């Protein structure tokens, strides 16, 4: 990872993280939880998450999926969970801040080099013992069926040796339709 490893370690929220960063992280978790709590009813199996680095592979039915999965798993672990997300939402004044506070990884899909840089950053987080989340379908599924998965999850798993944890969301398309 080279010089990127320093940036990655700062974003991973180790024990020496500043008070301001910790406050923003936990305040963000609490606010998002209050907003999503009436909409999202149950989360099960969080206690079975492995310690250390792992890869979350989640289906993608709604625009709220990423925010919900990141928030719930970060809250359960009390550390940032780094979700790979397209770069466009990072430009939004409000949603972009939430993504940055949660430690999400922007994916610029314009060139192969920028996509490779995103995967290198994800591998850096995994090497630092942090979980990384990815939507294998890469896009919202507008039907009940999952779309064909892209190779990103398999590539991260093979390169890092981290276990893949499948996560399913159900009914989120009724909260915020694609």
Does the pLDDT of residue 105 top 60, yes or no?
A: yes
The predicted-structure confidence for 22-41, as pLDDT tens digits, reads as follows 777 777 767 776 666 666 66
Does the pLDDT of residue 176 top 70, yes or no?
A: no
Q: How many whole angstroms separate alpha carbon 87 and alpha carbon 169?
A: 22
Look at residue 64 in the predicted model and tell me its pLDDT.
Answer: 67
pLDDT-derived band at 17, boundaries 50, 70, 90: low
Q: How many whole angstroms separate alpha carbon 109 and alpha carbon 111?
A: 6
pLDDT-derived band at 87, boundaries 50, 70, 90: confident
Beta-carbon contacts of residue 153 (< 8 Å; ≥ 6 apart):
55, 57, 134, 136, 164
Longest dimension (CA), the chain: 45
Look at residue 162 in the predicted model and tell me its pLDDT.
Answer: 95
Report, in this order, helix, strand and coil percent for the chain, each rounded to 5: 45, 10, 45
Mean pLDDT value of segment 44-58 = 85
pTM here is 0.75
Specify the length of the chain in residues.
178
């Amino acid at each position: 990872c080279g010089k990127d490893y320093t940036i990655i370690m700062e974003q991973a929220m180790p024990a020496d993280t500043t008070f301001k960063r910790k406050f923003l992280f936990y305040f963000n978790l609490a606010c998002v939880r209050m907003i999503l709590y009436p909409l999202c009813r149950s989360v099960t199996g969080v206690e079975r998450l492995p310690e250390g680095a792992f890869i979350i592979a989640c289906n993608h039915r709604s625009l709220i999926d990423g925010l919900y999965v990141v928030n719930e798993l970060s809250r359960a672990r009390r550390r940032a969970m780094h979700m790979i997300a397209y770069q466009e939402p990072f430009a939004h004044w409000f949603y972009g801040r939430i993504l940055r506070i949660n430690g999400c990884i922007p994916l610029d899909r314009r060139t192969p080099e920028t996509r490779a840089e995103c995967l290198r950053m994800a591998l850096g987080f995994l090497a630092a013992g942090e979980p990384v989340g990815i939507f294998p379908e890469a896009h919202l599924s507008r039907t009940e069926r999952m779309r064909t998965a892209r190779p990103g999850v398999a590539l991260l798993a093979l390169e890092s040796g981290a276990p893949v944890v499948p996560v399913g969301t159900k009914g989120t398309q009724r909260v915020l339709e694609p």
